[in-house]
Amino acid sequence: MSHSHTTRVQQFIGDPVSDNPPVDREELKEIFKDIQSDIRYDHELNGCLNCGICTATCPAAHYYDFSPREIVQLLWTENLEGIYDAMQEKIWACAQCYTCAARCPFGNSPGGLIMLMRETAIKHGMESAKNVLRPFSRVMLKLISTGNQLSPDMITADGFADWGPNVSKIDAPLDVLRKAIPLPTLHTTKTAWEVNLKTSVELYTIWEETGVLDQLETIDENLFDVILDIMDEKREDLEDWNDEQDD
Ligand code: SF4
Ligand code: SF4
């Protein structure tokens, strides 16, 4: 007589309320391998007592259905389905404050491990990563193209409705206010400070060499194209400037 067996190891993992196709076990293994093979992994996971000190001190755990203890346990027990499941939503609740790392008796860094899981989610183009990063496309554009995260002209009441009514006070004549700052490099509104052309181009090399641009292409191809155009333009400007100096 034959019996059907159910084991803890599932062949596929799917989301019953989504149209996305189930993910097969090979991909789950690949995702875990990417997390585990990062050079930081062995420094950030030394074992886990399941004591819950990290969760007790975690600010995000107070507000969300999220527990660093649970995430660390998933990694420590190599629960591939659970790891993939946590990467759909839970890992994005972490505020990266690293209180957990300061308190863990094993010297683990749950926040650091979560960062590795986030980077892997981006590398694999997971929908969760795209959804989380989509509202930040303007910030990413500014950061990658200029090295500045927020610029004065982005701080408007419209852009930051959740900052409350006082944000309108800096909706004043911004260019005049900025010119009142003693440092000339801060007399800008489109960037937080004036970025030297050569510095910008050097920054682009760093983005390329460290794989930041590859990651961006995976999660937002349109933004990637826009940034590539900006980079080409700035590189040409620098070449022209260098030619002028030679003449
Ligand atoms: S504090 Fe450290 S040992 Fe305790 S549950 Fe968290 S990660 Fe595990
Ligand atoms: S780094 Fe993340 S997991 Fe750790 S305490 Fe802060 S919010 Fe919680």
Give me the pLDDT at residue 173, please. 81
| CB 51 near ligand 1, within 6 Å | yes
Residue 83 beta carbon below 6 angstroms from any ligand 1 atom:
no
pLDDT at 112: 98
Confidence of residue 3 (pLDDT cuts 50, 70, 90): very low
Long-range contacts of 59-66 (CB under 8 A, 24+ apart): 59/95, 59/97, 59/99, 60/93, 60/94, 60/95, 63/93, 64/90, 64/93, 65/90, 65/93, 66/90, 66/93, 66/94
Choose the residue to mutate in 69, 72, 98, 118 for probing ligand 2, maximizing ligand atoms within 8 Å of C-beta. Answer: 98
Q: Quote the pLDDT of residue 6.
A: 45
Listed range (145-149, 171-175, 234-238) with the worst mean pLDDT: 171-175
1 pLDDT above the threshold of 80: no
Whether 193 has a pLDDT exceeding 80, the answer reads yes
Q: Is the pLDDT of residue 13 over 80?
A: no
Report residue 4's pLDDT band, with 50, 70 and 90 as the boundaries: very low
- pLDDT the model gives residue 182: 92
Give tens-digit pLDDT for 146-168. Answer: 888 888 888 777 767 677 777 66
Q: Which ligand is nearest to the CA of 46?
A: 1
Give the distance between the most distant pair of CA atoms in the chain: 90
Q: Answer yes or no: is the C-beta of 82 below 6 A from any ligand 2 atom.
A: no
Q: What is the mean predicted confidence (pLDDT) over 59-88?
A: 95
pLDDT of amino acid 139: 87
How far apart CA 82 and CA 148 sit, in angstroms, is: 37
Name the residue of 94, 104, 109, 116 to mutate for ligand 2: max ligand atoms within 8 A of Cβ: 94
According to the model, what pLDDT value does residue 148 have?
87
Q: What is the pTM of this model?
A: 0.80
Residue 5 is predicted with a pLDDT of 47
Distance of CA 244 to the CA centre of its chain: 39
pLDDT surpasses 80 at 127: yes
User: Nearest CA to 197 among 242, 145, 238?
Assistant: 238
